[in-house]
């Protein structure tokens, strides 16, 4: 990070007021017709393909009057040849006013933020963070419920591997929710998240089916159960079937204003017969990627009002450290990145991937 710029790398560095500020900015910007970013160039640098996220950022930039450049690894030959990430970032900052970065490596966006004098937005780094997805999830709930406080929220499906659910829980901790984790035992939410909730005195329940608590939910956040997580097809079929939402098992059995969210794409976990019911918010949710990404771009570029550059709560930087996360950008040999640790709340963690 250079001074006097604000990046959006992880929501962990935003407090409650700042998260609400971004969400309320998005509400206002969604009605804004001014080309706030006219004469700006936004670069979408996708070192791994993600058509939905890239298209959403590009649409947001174009709607604000900006021009867009960049690449997607599926078409970018130089990236496929293994062009050095750091060199690409150092070069692209001269072609751009803001870098939107997606990488298969944890910590890549953080590394980019240290190399670039232009603001960096993380559009997904490995299995680490994807702040725009979490913000648009919160935005969709806020827009409909007019509040994020004291809601009863169920997360259903693969809660072990689902990055979107983990990030959502971390953001919801500010809003006194009651949480329900509904998953087969082998895919239940990792213990470390439950410990965090215990420390914050946030109440939660664990279940292996949703029927018994369905009538309590204000929001049901569905995730995809991926076939490759199971040892056998039979095991998968058993679980996939018992975690399918259908008109028959939802409508009339939940609150009349219960929202169903899903990060998409879905396979069979939400039956098509639910799409035309008042509970279906997943397409609206995907569309809300536009106002949220408009707000993120406008805010980091100081064109709406500015997110303040922030001193992080780093107490000490420790260079006598080796990151053990094999997916971390600092472990990619061709990047020549010096390992670094920060000490946060007494714990030593990798500066880049925070593992």
Positions in the binding site for Zn ion (CB under 5 A): 107, 323, 325, 328, 350, 352-353
Scan for tokens 């939905």, then name that residue: 52
Active site (annotated) includes residue 28: no
CB 182 within 8 A of CB 207: yes
Q: Which residue, 255 or 339, has its beta carbon nearer to Zn ion?
A: 339
| Minimum distance of Zn ion from residue 127's CB (angstroms) | 12
| Minimum distance of Zn ion from residue 325's CB (angstroms) | 5
| Minimum distance of Zn ion from residue 237's CB (angstroms) | 37
CB 291 within 8 A of CB 27: yes
Q: Which residue, 207 or 344, has its beta carbon nearer to Zn ion?
A: 344
Q: Which residue, 45 or 323, has its beta carbon nearer to Zn ion?
A: 323
| Minimum distance of Zn ion from residue 116's CB (angstroms) | 19
C-alpha angle with apex 58: 53 to 59, nearest 5 degrees? 100
* 336 Ramachandran zone, left/alpha/beta (phi>0; psi -120 to 50): left
Scan for tokens 């990151």, then name that residue: 323
Q: Out of 81, 192, 201, 333, pick the active-site residue.
A: 81
> Rounded to an integer, what distance in angstroms lies between the CA atom of residue 285 and that of residue 281?
6
> Rounded to an integer, what distance in angstroms lies between the CA atom of residue 318 and that of residue 276?
55
| Minimum distance of Zn ion from residue 300's CB (angstroms) | 24
> Rounded to an integer, what distance in angstroms lies between the CA atom of residue 135 and that of residue 57?
13
Looking at the DSSP bridge assignments, the partners of residue 220 are: 154, 260
Selection from 169, 174, 176, 175 nearest residue 190 by Cα: 169
> Rounded to an integer, what distance in angstroms lies between the CA atom of residue 256 and that of residue 233?
36
Q: Which residue, 214 or 353, has its beta carbon nearer to Zn ion?
A: 353
| Minimum distance of Zn ion from residue 326's CB (angstroms) | 9
CB 160 within 8 A of CB 183: yes
- H helices of 212-312, in order, are 233-242, 247-250, 282-287, 289-300
Q: Which residue, 143 or 335, has its beta carbon nearer to Zn ion?
A: 335
Q: Out of 54, 105, 110, 130, pick the active-site residue.
A: 130
Active site (annotated) includes residue 130: yes
Cβ-count burial of 160 within 10 angstroms (0-12 exposed, 13-18 middle, 19+ buried)?
Answer: middle
Q: What value does the CA radius of gyration of the chain take, rounded to a whole number of Å?
A: 20
Active site (annotated) includes residue 207: no
Q: What is the dihedral of CA 42, 6, 29, 37, to 10 degrees?
A: -30
Bridge-based pairing state of the strands 67-72 and 41-46: parallel
Q: Which residue, 299 or 353, has its beta carbon nearer to Zn ion?
A: 353
For residue 83, what are its two tokens? 């062009």
| Minimum distance of Zn ion from residue 129's CB (angstroms) | 13
Q: Out of 6, 40, 102, 327, pick the active-site residue.
A: 102
Q: Out of 53, 88, 134, 223, pick the active-site residue.
A: 53
The tally of CA atoms less than 13 A away on the side-chain side of residue 145 is 23
Q: Which residue, 125 or 137, has its beta carbon nearer to Zn ion?
A: 125
Annotated catalytic sites, by residue?
52-53, 81, 102, 130
């Amino acid at each position: 990070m250079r001074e006097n710029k604000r990046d959006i790398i992880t929501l962990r560095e935003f407090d409650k007021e700042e998260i609400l500020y971004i969400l309320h900015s998005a509400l206002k910007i969604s009605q804004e017709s001014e080309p706030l970013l006219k004469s700006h160039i936004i670069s979408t640098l996708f070192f791994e393909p993600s058509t939905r996220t890239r298209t959403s950022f590009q649409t947001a930039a174009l709607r604000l009057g900006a021009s867009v450049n960049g690449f997607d690894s599926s078409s970018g030959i130089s990236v496929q040849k293994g062009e050095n990430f750091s060199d690409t970032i150092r070069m692209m900052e001269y072609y751009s006013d803001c870098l939107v970065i997606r990488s298969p490596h944890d910590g890549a966006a953080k590394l980019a933020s240290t190399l670039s004098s232009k603001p960096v937005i993380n559009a997904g780094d490995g299995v680490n963070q994807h702040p725009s997805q979490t913000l648009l999830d919160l935005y969709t709930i806020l827009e409909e419920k007019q509040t994020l406080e004291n809601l009863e929220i169920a997360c259903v499906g693969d809660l072990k591997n689902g990055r979107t659910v983990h990030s959502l829980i971390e953001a919801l901790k500010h809003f006194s929710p009651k949480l329900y984790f509904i998953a087969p035992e082998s895919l239940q939410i990792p213990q470390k998240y439950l410990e965090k909730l215990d420390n914050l005195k946030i109440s939660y329940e664990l279940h292996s089916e949703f029927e018994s608590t369905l009538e309590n939910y204000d929001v049901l956040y569905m995730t995809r159960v991926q076939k490759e997580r199971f040892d056998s097809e039979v095991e998968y079929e058993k679980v996939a079937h018992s975690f399918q939402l259908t008109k028959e098992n939802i409508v009339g059995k939940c609150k009349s204003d219960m929202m169903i969210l899903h990060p998409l794409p879905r396979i069979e976990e939400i039956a098509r017969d639910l799409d035309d019911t008042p509970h279906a918010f997943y397409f609206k949710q995907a569309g809300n990627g536009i106002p949220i990404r408009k707000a993120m771009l406008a805010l980091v570029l100081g064109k709406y009002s500015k997110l303040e550059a922030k001193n992080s709560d780093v107490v000490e930087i420790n260079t006598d450290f080796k990151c053990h996360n094999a997916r971390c950008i600092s472990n990619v040999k061709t990047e020549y990145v010096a390992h670094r640790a920060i000490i946060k709340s007494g714990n030593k963690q990798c500066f880049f991937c925070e593992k």
